[in-house]
């Protein structure tokens, strides 16, 4: 497939096959069509490794690459032209020859609490749940942060796409009093009315880049890059790249319980051109031990005038966290992961986190 822009070229957008992924892909397709009606855009959907393995904890079986690997193979084979991702699922280091070319304006990045249907009227927040209540989430970040604040609750892994997790919550024999999901996904699926309450700072710092959609392309596809850049919301891009720089320094290629929250203050007008933009970036980051007994959290604020300066603030914050105790926590988490992976190999069993 040629990567040159011609009148007859069809740009194929690909993503996972879940309902949410398809909705997100259609959002991007429609935005591209609105920006350039002369171009033709098609969609393609496929299953990924994360869809096939629904039994093991994500941080034991490959982390974020589980959601992107098969898609990136299709991209590199020229089978498709653009990948639409939930930005939080994208590894901080991409395969050679691939790049993020577009970042759409962010939905609310917070996590939300959803109680099961028929729950008592008084169950509005985590504080309202009786001791011993089971709360479902597949995120070690959420569990680590919430264990330290709610030691009386039981946190249990729940896998599957959002439809599957909501069905597990509402099933007559459900063990779950509630589950925790990203608010953005609930809103995009039209399920905002099921959200019981939001979980934000200081209770819970959200995942890196949560709520944002990113478009991945081949690095040599100048036509696709130009189309994607026309969709990019620079304020979201700066915030997300600062968060991803933080995570890249901390994770060392593995999934770790890192929480984050960013804001851009004193933003330039929407029409400001590159080179004229400036903003005051405030970023808070945290690393929490798996059992919640240790939590390292710091914040930084700085004026930034370019994407690279926003990333540099994220790197500074990561180093501050490492220097004040996060390294010890991360080393323990990685050792715990390796132990469980080896146990799974020797016993031929699937080991949960």
Q: Per residue in 253-277, pLDDT tens?
A: 556 889 999 999 876 766 777 778 8
Query: Which among 213, 250, 244, 249 has a CA at the least distance from the CA of 308?
Result: 244
Q: How far is CA 30 from the centre of its chain?
A: 22
pLDDT at 87 over 80: yes
| CATH 3.30.160.40 location in the chain | 233-353
Selected from 3.30.160.40, 3.40.640.10, 3.90.1010.10, 3.90.110.10, the CATH number assigned to the domain covering 233-353 reads 3.30.160.40
Q: What pLDDT, on the 0 to 100 scale, is given for residue 338?
A: 81
Where in the chain is CATH 3.40.190.10?
A: 1-103+210-232, 111-199
Residues in contact with 145: Cβ distance below 8 Å, sequence separation at least 6, in sequence order: 203, 204, 205, 257, 259, 286, 288, 292, 295
pLDDT of 70 reads 87
List pLDDT tens digits, range 269-307. 667 777 788 899 999 999 999 999 999 999 999 999 999
Among the listed residues 36, 77, 81, 89, the single catalytic one is 89
Pairing of strands 134-136, 98-103: unpaired
Contact present, 217 and 228 (Cβ < 8 Å): yes
User: Which whole-number Å values give the CA distances from 7 to 13, 42, 165, 321, 334, in the listed order?
Assistant: 17, 15, 43, 50, 50
Has domain 111-199 been given CATH number 2.60.40.10?
A: no
The hierarchical CATH code for the domain 1-103+210-232 is: 3.40.190.10
Length of the chain: 353
Active site residue 89: yes
Cα three-residue angle 333-338-341, rounded to 5 degrees: 125
Q: What band does 60 get if pLDDT is binned at 50, 70 and 90?
A: very low
Structural contact between residues 59 and 142, judged by C-beta atoms closer than 8 angstroms = no
Mean pLDDT of 166-181: 97
Comparing 251 with 52, the larger pLDDT belongs to 251
Q: How far apart are CA 254 and CA 301, in angstroms?
A: 27
């Amino acid at each position: 497939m040629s990567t040159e822009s011609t009148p007859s070229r069809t740009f194929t957008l690909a993503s996972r096959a879940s309902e949410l992924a398809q909705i997100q892909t259609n959002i991007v397709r429609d935005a591209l069509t609105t920006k350039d009606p002369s171009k033709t855009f098609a969609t393609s959907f496929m299953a990924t490794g994360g869809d096939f393995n629904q039994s093991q904890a994500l941080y034991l079986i490959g982390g974020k690459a589980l959601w992107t690997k098969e898609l990136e193979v299709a991209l590199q084979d020229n089978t498709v032209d653009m990948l639409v991702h939930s930005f939080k699922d994208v590894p901080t280091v991409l395969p050679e020859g691939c790049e993020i070319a577009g970042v759409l304006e962010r939905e609310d990045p917070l996590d939300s609490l959803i109680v099961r249907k028929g729950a008592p009227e008084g169950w509005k927040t985590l504080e309202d749940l009786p001791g011993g209540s089971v709360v479902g989430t597949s995120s070690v970040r959420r569990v680590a942060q919430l264990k330290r604040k709610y030691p009386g609750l039981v946190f249990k892994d729940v896998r599957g796409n959002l439809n599957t997790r909501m069905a597990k919550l509402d099933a007559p024999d459900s063990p779950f009093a509630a589950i925790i999901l990203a608010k953005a996904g609930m809103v995009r699926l039209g399920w905002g009315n099921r959200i019981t309450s939001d979980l934000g700072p200081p209770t819970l710092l959200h995942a890196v880049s949560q709520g944002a959609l990113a478009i991945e392309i081949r690095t040599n596809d100048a036509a696709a890059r130009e189309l994607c850049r026309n969709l990019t919301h620079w304020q979201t891009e700066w915030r997300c790249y600062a968060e991803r720089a933080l995570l890249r320094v901390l994770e060392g290629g593995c999934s770790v319980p890192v929480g984050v929250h960013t804001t851009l203050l004193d933003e330039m007008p929407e029409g400001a051109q590159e080179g004229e933009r400036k903003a005051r970036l405030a970023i808070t980051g945290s690393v929490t031990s798996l059992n919640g007994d240790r939590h390292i959290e710091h914040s930084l604020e700085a004026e930034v005038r370019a994407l690279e300066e926003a990333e540099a603030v994220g790197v500074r914050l990561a180093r501050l966290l490492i220097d004040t105790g996060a390294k010890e926590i991360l080393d323990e988490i990685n050792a715990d992961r390796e132990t469980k992976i080896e146990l799974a190999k020797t016993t031929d069993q699937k080991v949960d986190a």
